[in-house]
Structure 1
Amino acid sequence: MSKPSKERLISLVLGGARSGKSTFAEKLASSRASNLAVLYVATLEPYDAEMQERVERHRASRPDTWRTLEAPLNLAETVRQGYKGEKLVLLDCLTLWTTNRLMSITPLDKDAAGYVSQIPPEDDLALESTTPTTPVEVTSPDYFAEERAMAQELESLVAWLREQNCGLVMVSNEVGMGLVPPYPLGRAYRDALGRLNQVAANLADEAFFCIAGIPIDLKKLQYNFDEDI
């Protein structure tokens, strides 16, 4: 199967917090789309005034040809309904989409002062675990079922965008390089996002890992079993 033209590539950009991943993803999207329309899909759900101000600042810095679509939960459906023939979609990010989806099925006291502190942070990095065949330490709510649903939704979205001949740049955090979270929701989040990143990388034509603002092309470095065995 031949590789799509550059403007129609499906790309994944990974990195830790403040690694330069979003900056690189925006540069990649800008170079691929040239001066044509880009649909910027934002999954962030602002929880306070400071976060809302940050959102507005980022939105103002984008080119006039970029349109913003908010999709904190129902990602695929929102993109399909909001898509207007743009040349490329920039999805920033899978990290917060995972957070929102897991939080949507987690019973928490939203009136409590510590509500926001209960939400797994964007850079909640943890050691990678082996793929379980049963839910991770949690029987209610069923985070594992939600994780499977998210993977299927992402696969559906990528397939649909390919049908539209539309490129996609996905941004996500690498969560396999830190400590194991000490609480069940944190571990469910770490595992769900880690496996979702694997799904995204498998769907992508190219994958990059950003460290200190430097993007590394992972698929050019990957081990090829067919060639080496």
Structure 2
Amino acid sequence: METVNPEVRIDTYIRNVANALEQVEREGVKNEVIEIARAYLKDSIYYLSRGDQFNALATIAYAEGLLDALRFLGIAHFNWSRTDDLIRRAQNKVFVAGTFEIIHPGHIAYLRHAWTLGRVVAVIARDSTVKKIKGRDVIIPENQRLEVVSNIVYVHKARLGYEGDMFRVVEEERPNIILLGPNQPFNEDSLREELRKRGLGNIEVIRFNDYVDCPLCSTTKILKAISSRFNQNNQLP
């Protein structure tokens, strides 16, 4: 039998509780105990992403206990998932990349979905790369963007990319999955071909296609809204 390290076991435990909570939410069950269980789940994801296995295990155990109590009382109905698939997901490394200049709900949805596929490595575009691609200087410098993304609960690891060769960081990280965002201008087939040429043909390339419907779900829209308000009032609120 393959030995599974403690961190992966805890990650699997967390994903099982997350799946159970999703089942409860689909049933439309709402009460304060479920909200507390969800809070413990979020805490556990965060603790594990920071390498704190003790508190990650403690908080997810609290969440599981609350859900089991609700099931015992007949308030909630769910089934625990088989662990083999969850272990595979917990062992997956999921590669995401972007500018992450002004964090908005679209970013959170992207990173949350990445977490459902495995442990997330987020690569932050360098300032010079952003200028080359977007034709403008960044507002938020790369190290500050890195600090923000590093502290998002769904991200296991965040790092800066490289200037020039975008595949260099992929070669170093060796992910199982590359998850593209809805608006990222990469052709999946072309990306797979380049990966194959570099001996990385086993990496799965998929795209997250769920657009978040909100008025300011893009950095460009946010910047335009700020500029417009400033021009109208000649001052920021």
What band does the TM-score fall into relative to the shorter chain?
0.3 to 0.5
Larger Rg: 2
Could you tell me the TM-score, scaled by structure 2's length? 0.32
In proportion to residue count, which structure has more helix? 2
Q: Work out which structure has the larger RCO, using CA pairs closer than 8 Å and 6 or more positions apart in sequence.
A: 1
